[in-house]
Chain A
Amino acid sequence: MNTNVKAIAAPQTSERSNLLTAAFAVLMGVGIIFVTGHVQAAALHDAAHDVRHATGFPCH
């Protein structure tokens, strides 16, 4: 009986942790897009200028 409960409980926990992992990766991705594509600091803007235009990000 106990084993059964564990067998059912285990995948749920792992599914939840997988979802959390995926959510964290999405946040990291958004962070990278924000820094490379949107932060207006002069050095970043100048270095990424052509990419921002070519990729359709709002620039300037």
Chain B
Amino acid sequence: MFSRLVTSAVFAGAVAGLLVALLQLVFVQPVLLHAELYETGQLVHFGGLPNTATPELPGFDLMRNGLSVLFTMMVYCGYALILVAVMSTADDALVTPRMGMIWGLAGFVAAQLAPAMSLPPEVPGVAAADVQLRQFWWFATVAMAAGAMWILAFRFNMYGIAAAALLLMLPHIIGAPQPDAFAGPVPTELGALFAARSLGIGLAAWIILGAFCAYFWNKEGEAA
């Protein structure tokens, strides 16, 4: 059981991670590189003439982007281990590639949308509170939202719905660590675009991951 779980998670995480890394390089990385021109001061947003919205961006950096691909694959292997583990406890009929997309959707809500409601994906250079405090809030929020998704899927009754709603709202009522002052040098247009792209690719990523997790979990089950 353990080797089936790890094998299917590593396959699913590697395949999904590779696809997601390519999506991020095409849709997210150009916005990040553009924002870094402001972070490093090569472009200045206020107090001068308006900047072009289409500056020349640094070219393809093999080392930098290669590391990004590698780390994206590792991150999604981590997520796949968690997703396949929960799948392994569910009824077989619920673990098909088509249902896997719904599993992925729930994973997206838990791991990306829920924390993003108070800590939106940060473009480089934004002002932010202490990183450890934000990480603590991030893990707590993701854990609570994941619990909420599990309750909605497997304990769907009045009490379950109420508990899930509470788990989803509570971190935002308590509030995420926020900076004391706003000092971000990046234009709001880029910050908004970055957050939207990050969430959009995140949604695609989790749907792909969910489908592959279910696919490889079943495939490894046949082989065993």
Q: A residues engaging B (CB < 8 A)?
A: 17-19, 21-26, 28-33, 36-38, 40, 47-48, 50-51, 53-60
Is B74 a contact partner of A21 (Cβ separation < 8 A)? no
B85 touches A47 (CB 8 A): no
Most buried by A among B21, B68, B128: B68
CB distance from A2 to the nearest CB of B (A): 27
Smallest CB–CB gap between B190 and chain A, Å?
12
A25–B138 CB distance below 8 A = no
Complex CA–CA separation, A33 to B139 (angstroms): 10
Chain B 72-102, CB-CB to A under 8 Å as 1, else 0, gives 1011011111101110110000000000000
CA of A13 to CA of B72, assembled, Å = 37
A56 touches B124 (CB 8 A): no
Residues of B within 8 A of A53 (CB): 32, 121-124, 194, 198
Interface residues contributed by chain B, number (CB under 8 Å): 49
Question: A29-B80, A55-B202, A58-B131 known; A50 and B32 CB under 8 Å?
Answer: yes
Contact B64 A50 (CB under 8 A): yes
A54 to B201, CA, bound (A): 9
Report 22 cross-chain contacts, Cβ distance below 8 Å, ordered by A residue: A22-B88, A25-B82, A26-B85, A26-B86, A29-B9, A29-B79, A32-B75, A32-B77, A32-B81, A36-B78, A37-B75, A48-B71, A53-B121, A53-B123, A53-B124, A53-B194, A54-B28, A54-B72, A56-B116, A56-B198, A59-B131, A60-B131
Contacting A at CB under 8 A, from B178-219, are: 194, 198-199, 201-202
User: Within the complex, which residue of A25, A31, A54 is in contact with B32, where a contact is CB–CB below 8 Å?
Assistant: A54
Provide the bound-state CA to CA distance between A11 and B85, in Å: 19
Question: Can you name 19 extra interface pairs (CB under 8 A) apart from A28-B6, A29-B82?
Answer: A18-B88, A21-B5, A25-B9, A25-B84, A30-B82, A32-B75, A32-B78, A36-B75, A40-B132, A50-B24, A51-B21, A51-B75, A54-B68, A55-B121, A55-B202, A56-B121, A58-B119, A58-B131, A58-B135
